[in-house]
Copies of this chain bind each other. A is one copy, B any other.
């Protein structure tokens, strides 16, 4: 009768959620807030009877809510768009996150919380809530104003940085300390994993989905999408990364498929159902006694969120070249916390490194700042007018001079094109080398099972290493070759740019090899360090190197063609649709 108890819980939950969503629409409040209040009302801390008997199972479903929330976020994410929102959004988001983590950490320490609690508080305050902002801007009919576009750009960057933050926090919580070198290594590996997943995913997934879609069955497409999403999540979990990362990445990869619109329509109900459960579950965790006890920190943190975000985001937007009015509106729009904060707070609970009060405090702060968001957005325009009236004209002149100076340092005309060309070549080389690093890392990761498997036939550990390392090198050859070509072209181009194109051919040839040699000279030792666990001893290495050289000499053209085909397939996937505006939930 376990199942019946669960269905009863779910029934209570959905019934209350249903009532609340209607009520919230009637009162024009965000539904998310209503779900949390509903969870609070049916929770174990309020009311004479516990209406939820099997909280564990409900909480497992809430975990599915996180998966679908993140998958949905990934579906609305566009790789191309990230490249377009450009430096402004990246800088502003980075500045905001660093500032808010710093602020949160120090507030936490001020209330004499443990360093880990304070660190998680900082992370909780760092990311604004896409859900709440989209809803508020929609209600105020401001979604298509320029400042709103900038806000969406910042939110995209925030989502990525937020996922990085979650991975980082998991690592920090596991080791208990913050070692800069370790953080860098963790981040590096994370970036490599993301890059490799994106490349492989973008090459495979859109093709798989196109094949599945030709059966023209909603059921088949949906189950295939869920299979891919959960399958990738499984891989991510096995690599000790967060589920959040897996769900988001698989969404982002599928967002580049032609079936995006269909997938979004099919996944939407699942997201609605499970995110409702997720938000109600958050409410279940709130204990009013804890709220009363921590009334002061809650008030202080709420104020810090509003003021800190307004200041840091406005400043970030202003420094990157936006006028004062837009900057203020951006800052006031981003001044709340939401779903990401809950996920980070839940992470602390599940890792057992934060105190019990942190979660309800985060929820309370989110509730307060969610309520203030629409008023702040509405107040931004009048406030900026009043501020500009109040500022003395001399200060105003300094401000506008800054904007003019910023625009003047942008590269004009042809130089901008050249800069873009160089940037592009560098990006290609870096991506190719990163893929090589990812291949060797994966080799190290899978070395153990392969070792066990090889042991049946070849009981020589060194030979195993040589085989694995050699296979990794073989797989890497096309990418190494491509990186070499790119770097050589870049080198030649830079040499010619110096204005000495009348140099003799021999000098040019030497110059052309300069950058590739320097790069590979620093990259190969790094690679050896990366793959230290599978690095065979010197004589084997020499043999593998010789074999690789022979292969390269013989199959140079073939390797180049393999890479060109992969590259154009990837390009095609990314180019195949200029995606429409992401639909708004």
Residues of B within 8 A of A148 (CB): none
- Contact between B215 and A11 (Cβ–Cβ < 8 Å)? no
Docked pose: A17 CA to B7 CA in angstroms:
24
- Contact between B67 and A7 (Cβ–Cβ < 8 Å)? yes
Residues of B within 8 A of A63 (CB): 3, 6-7
Interface stretch of the complex, out of A267-275, A291-299, A546-554 = A267-275
Residues of B within 8 A of A272 (CB): 218-219, 222-223
- Contact between B7 and A223 (Cβ–Cβ < 8 Å)? no
Interface stretch of the complex, out of A103-111, A174-182, A225-233, A521-529 = A225-233
**A15 beta carbon closer than 8 Å to chain B:** yes
Q: Which residue of B lies closest to A236 (CB)?
A: B11
**A576 beta carbon closer than 8 Å to chain B:** no
Docked pose: A212 CA to B20 CA in angstroms:
12
Answer whether A219 and B60 are a contact pair too, CB < 8 Å, given A230-B7, A231-B18. Answer: no
- Contact between B269 and A7 (Cβ–Cβ < 8 Å)? no
**A234 beta carbon closer than 8 Å to chain B:** yes
- Contact between A14 and B220 (Cβ–Cβ < 8 Å)? no
Question: A237 to chain B: closest CB distance in Å?
Answer: 6
Residues of B within 8 A of A10 (CB): 64, 230
Per-residue contact bits, chain A 239-250, to B (CB 8 Å; 1 contact, 0 not): 000010000000
Question: A199 to chain B: closest CB distance in Å?
Answer: 21
Residues of B within 8 A of A16 (CB): 227
Pick from B22, B211, B224, B268: contact of A21, CB below 8 A: B224
- Contact between A237 and B15 (Cβ–Cβ < 8 Å)? no
Per-residue contact bits, chain A 8-50, to B (CB 8 Å; 1 contact, 0 not): 1011111111110110010000010000000000000000000
**A585 beta carbon closer than 8 Å to chain B:** yes
Question: A50 to chain B: closest CB distance in Å?
Answer: 15
**A502 beta carbon closer than 8 Å to chain B:** no
Docked pose: A234 CA to B234 CA in angstroms:
34
- Contact between B21 and A220 (Cβ–Cβ < 8 Å)? yes
Which residue, A59, A217, A225, has most C-beta atoms of chain B within 10 A? Answer: A217
Residues of B within 8 A of A8 (CB): 234, 237
Residues of B within 8 A of A217 (CB): 21, 25
Q: Which residue of B lies closest to A275 (CB)?
A: B219
**A389 beta carbon closer than 8 Å to chain B:** no
- Contact between B585 and A219 (Cβ–Cβ < 8 Å)? yes
- Contact between B227 and A18 (Cβ–Cβ < 8 Å)? yes
Q: Which residue of B lies closest to A62 (CB)?
A: B3
Docked pose: A225 CA to B270 CA in angstroms:
13
**A2 beta carbon closer than 8 Å to chain B:** yes
Question: A281 to chain B: closest CB distance in Å?
Answer: 11
Answer whether A222 and B269 are a contact pair too, CB < 8 Å, given A7-B67, A7-B230, A17-B227. Answer: yes
Docked pose: A585 CA to B25 CA in angstroms:
32
- Contact between A14 and B227 (Cβ–Cβ < 8 Å)? yes
Docked pose: A565 CA to B6 CA in angstroms:
40
- Contact between A7 and B231 (Cβ–Cβ < 8 Å)? no
**A4 beta carbon closer than 8 Å to chain B:** yes
**A578 beta carbon closer than 8 Å to chain B:** no
Residues of B within 8 A of A227 (CB): 14-19
**A57 beta carbon closer than 8 Å to chain B:** yes
Q: Which residue of B lies closest to A18 (CB)?
A: B227
**A276 beta carbon closer than 8 Å to chain B:** yes
- Contact between B273 and A270 (Cβ–Cβ < 8 Å)? yes
**A56 beta carbon closer than 8 Å to chain B:** yes
Q: A2-B56, A7-B63, A14-B229 are in contact. List 20 more A-B contacts (CB 8 A).
A: A1-B350, A6-B63, A7-B67, A7-B243, A12-B234, A13-B230, A14-B223, A17-B223, A18-B226, A21-B217, A22-B211, A22-B220, A31-B220, A218-B272, A219-B272, A222-B272, A223-B272, A265-B265, A267-B269, A268-B269
Q: Closest 6 interchain pairs by CB?
A: A18-B227, A11-B230, A11-B234, A15-B231, A14-B230, A3-B63
Q: List 11 A-B contacts (CB under 8 A).
A: A1-B350, A3-B60, A7-B67, A7-B234, A8-B237, A14-B226, A21-B223, A57-B57, A57-B60, A222-B272, A268-B269
